[in-house]
Amino acid sequence: MMDDKDLQSISVTVCGRAYPLRVESGEVEMIHIVAKEINEKVREFQLKYKDRDLQDFLVMTLLTYAVENHKSDSANSSDEILKNQLVHLNETLSEALA
């Protein structure tokens, strides 16, 4: 856990509402970028689906990011499995050639 003195207080605005946060200094820019992306995605949904309320747009945005995150996690898991198989194959070949 980070010590409070290592955290920076910031405020991000999502859908017109400000949220105070305490974050690591190295994450400030990333958090502002992500908040901007969320606002842009919500705006895209607002333009596409005029008869919905803000909560619907936020949920659609959340689901979009959750699916992207899940796909990324699955790809990383597959990469790790492949890496382990290649390491094993390399070890087997090294033993056979020794």
Q: pLDDT (tens digit, 9 = 90+) per residue, 6-21? A: 899 999 999 999 999 9
- Nearest C-alpha neighbor of 23 from the set 14, 15, 32: 32
**pLDDT > 90 fraction of the chain, expressed in percent and rounded:** 63
Q: pLDDT (tens digit, 9 = 90+) per residue, 30-73? A: 999 999 999 999 999 999 999 999 999 999 999 999 999 888 88
Contact 65, 73 (CB under 8 A): no
- Domain boundaries, position 12: 4-97
Number of domains the chain contains: 1
Question: Considering the entire predicted model, what is its pTM?
Answer: 0.70
Q: What is the pLDDT of residue 41?
A: 96
Where does the pLDDT of residue 1 fall: very low under 50, low under 70, confident under 90, or very high at 90 and above?
A: low
Where does the pLDDT of residue 95 fall: very low under 50, low under 70, confident under 90, or very high at 90 and above?
A: confident
Q: Can you tell me the distance from the alpha carbon of 46 to that of 61, in angstroms, rounded to the nearest whole number?
A: 11
